[in-house]
Amino acid sequence: MISISSNLNIMIKAAEKASKSAIRDFGEVEKLQVSKKGPRDFVTKTDKHVEKILIEELSRTKKNYSFLSEEAGSIQNKDKDNIWIIDPIDGTTNFLHGIPHFAICVALESKKEIISGLIYDPIKDEMFYAEKNKGAYLNNQRLRVSNKNIINECLFSSNHEGVKFSSLNMRYSGSAALDLAYVASGRLDGFFHNKINIWDVAAGALLVEEAGGIVNDLDKFDQNNIDIRASSGAINDKMLENLKNF
């Protein structure tokens, strides 16, 4: 077992507890697909319930830390230098349609720097996590980005559906967080997206960097409208060349 900080330990436990609710509700989604109303309202409640559990669990021992979350927005507490960044369900559309590809995301920003990140895929029971200068891991196994350097042999992802990049082999998964986790683990070679929110990419960007990859201007991320480019170092220049007009 690798050594992890108390903050990351809290994040892992919070994500595991919140995942029980997400898994239970996901089991109900298939039953709602055939109803006239559909599962949209149900999934919105799931999103908020998962967020509530995360905030409660993270606050148990770090009572003064602030929050930034997709659903609740900004919650200012006494400690404004340390901020939990939460996306309760990244891949909501997948969840909505009964597609088992979504994740719970938590990152910790300390003095404007992302120092811990976690992406948990509860259906596959894959826990991706990283800490600044300590490496990236999947279920306690060290992660490294891909080392492929021939762009035609690489696989890229973007959540810009409908946008075609004829020179790149593309996949569209519906979860930016898991795409970044997959770049960190070498399953994908690169990920890019324009105008995305911080809670979608905070944890994943740290994972990629700690797995030896490159993320553009990670320290300059604002809360929203982020243009992100993440890849292995071996393919980064070639990917950026293909995206120069994007």
Catalytic residues: 70, 87, 89-90, 92, 200
Task: Output the six-digit token pair for 50.
Answer: 């998962």
Using only C-alpha atoms, what is the Rg of the chain? 17
DSSP string, the chain: -----HHHHHHHHHHHHHHHHHHHHHHHHHHHTTSSS-SHHHHHHHHHHHHHHHHHHHHTT-TTEEEEETTTEEE--SEEEEEEEEEEEE-HHHHHTT-S--EEEEEEEETTEEEEEEEEETTTTEEEEEETTTEEEETTEE--------GGG--EE-S-TT---TTS-EE--S-HHHHHHHHHTTSSSEEEEEEE-HHHHHHHHHHHHHTTEEETTGGG--SS-EEEEEEETTTHHHHHHHTTT-
Q: C-alpha distances in angstroms, 40 versus 48, 69, 91, 224?
A: 13, 20, 13, 24
Q: Which of 198, 165, 164, 167 is nearest to 180 (CA)?
A: 198
